């Protein structure tokens, strides 16, 4: 496995693989890898001849008051995890390799990006769509792997690929959790011991909401109240949103019939965590 920092090196490697008729999978990440990322890498390794992992904390998807400066980074640890999982190449550029000083071209989306995380992070998905488009152009993979952990991001990327006729397949992968239910996240490292315990209210609330739907509850407002009630009972929590939306349009729903995404964003202390479940019927 090799680590490269320039776009030209990625292109040269992928060209060499293509000349041999090999297929290529891409796993875009912001690094500080955990078993959630690892599950995406393992799936790509299983489904493609070669796997590229991008490891880049993308500045343009962070808002001015967000955690860009403190976002955890550890490329040596990431490299060991990628190597152990069978990845072939890590693309680890500096920000100035990806963005020229006079960079001014963005990929933006009218729908899907205004609600959920887009409400409090108005420039986030423009940053995500732009960097993911750039990565697709640089690597030109056959398949790219995204976690359902970031469900809105997965829906947005799928729509971008469809709308802009990008020639690759998007593979969504299930959420990987800690043994006690907390969704794995690089940001979990911000939590102190009390917050780590408190953070369980997200998965607990969602599990209760999912059980209500499975028991036949079709009123979305009631399911929402079950989830929010469990989270609000935790003193260290502050809800950003608890929403039930259509999994294809991300528009709010009144009924839980159809394919539904139940998504939450919750501050535990200063740390903002997200989690969700999808019921597809």
Active site residues: 37
Minimum Å gap between C-beta 77 and ligand AMP is 13
Residue the block writes with tokens 């995380």: 117
CA distance 147 to 151: 7
Stretch that binds ligand AMP, among 46-54, 74-82, 146-154, 254-262 (CB under 6 A): 146-154
**Which of 135, 99, 176 has the alpha carbon at shortest distance from 25?**
135
Q: Does 183 bind ligand AMP (CB under 6 A)?
A: yes
Q: Considering only residues 53, 173, 242, 278, which one is a binding residue for ligand AMP as defined by CB under 6 A? A: 173
Minimum Å gap between C-beta 15 and ligand AMP is 26
Q: Does 265 bind ligand AMP (CB under 6 A)?
A: no
Q: Does 77 bind ligand AMP (CB under 6 A)?
A: no
Residue 44 vs 186, nearer CB to ligand AMP = 186
Binding-site size for ligand AMP (CB under 6 A) equals 17
Residues 124/127/130/131 CA torsion (nearest 10 deg): -120
Residue 203 vs 256, nearer CB to ligand AMP = 203
Minimum Å gap between C-beta 33 and ligand AMP is 7
Q: Considering only residues 91, 146, 190, 247, which one is a binding residue for ligand AMP as defined by CB under 6 A? A: 146
CA distance 75 to 72: 10
Helix H, strand E, coil C: the string for 41-108 is: HHHHHHHCCEEEEEECCCHHHCCCCCCCCCCCCCHHHHHHHHHHHCCCEEECCCHHHHCCCCCCCCCC
Q: Which residues contact 232 (CB under 8 A, 6 or more apart)?
A: 239
> Length of the chain in residues, anyone?
281
Q: Does 133 bind ligand AMP (CB under 6 A)?
A: no
Minimum Å gap between C-beta 222 and ligand AMP is 28
Q: Does 186 bind ligand AMP (CB under 6 A)?
A: yes
**Region for residue 86 given its phi and psi (left: phi exceeds 0; alpha: psi -120 to 50; beta: otherwise):** left
Q: Does 29 bind ligand AMP (CB under 6 A)?
A: yes
List contacts with ligand AMP (CB under 6 A). 29-30, 36-37, 39-40, 146-147, 149-150, 173, 175-176, 183-186
């Amino acid at each position: 496995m090799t680590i490269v920092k320039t776009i030209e090196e990625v292109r040269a490697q992928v060209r060499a693989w293509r000349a041999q008729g090999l297929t290529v999978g891409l796993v875009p990440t912001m690094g500080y890898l955990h078993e959630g990322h690892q599950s995406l890498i393992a799936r790509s390794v299983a489904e493609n001849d070669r796997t590229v992992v991008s490891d880049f904390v993308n500045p343009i998807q962070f808002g001015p008051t967000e955690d860009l400066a403190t976002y955890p980074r550890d490329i040596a640890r990431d490299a060991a995890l990628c190597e152990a999982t069978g990845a072939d190449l890590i693309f680890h550029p500096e920000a100035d390799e990806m963005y020229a000083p006079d960079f001014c071209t963005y990929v933006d989306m009218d729908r899907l990006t205004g609600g959920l995380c887009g409400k409090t992070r108005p420039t986030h998905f423009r940053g995500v769509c732009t960097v993911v488009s750039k990565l697709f152009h640089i690597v030109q993979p056959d398949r790219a792997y995204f976690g359902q952990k970031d469900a809105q991001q997965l829906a947005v990327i799928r729509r971008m690929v469809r709308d802009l006729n990008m020639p690759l397949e998007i593979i969504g992968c299930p959420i990987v959790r800690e043994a006690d239910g907390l969704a794995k996240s690089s940001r979990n490292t911000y939590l102190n011991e009390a917050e780590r315990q408190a953070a369980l209210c997200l998965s607990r609330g969602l599990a209760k909401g999912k059980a209500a739907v499975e028991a036949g509850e079709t009123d979305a407002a009631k399911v929402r109240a079950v989830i929010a009630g469990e989270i609000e009972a935790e003193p260290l929590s502050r809800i950003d949103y608890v929403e039930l939306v259509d999994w294809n349009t991300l528009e709010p729903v009144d009924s839980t019939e159809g394919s539904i995404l139940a998504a939450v964003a919750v501050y535990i202390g200063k740390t903002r965590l997200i989690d969700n479940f999808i019921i597809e019927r």
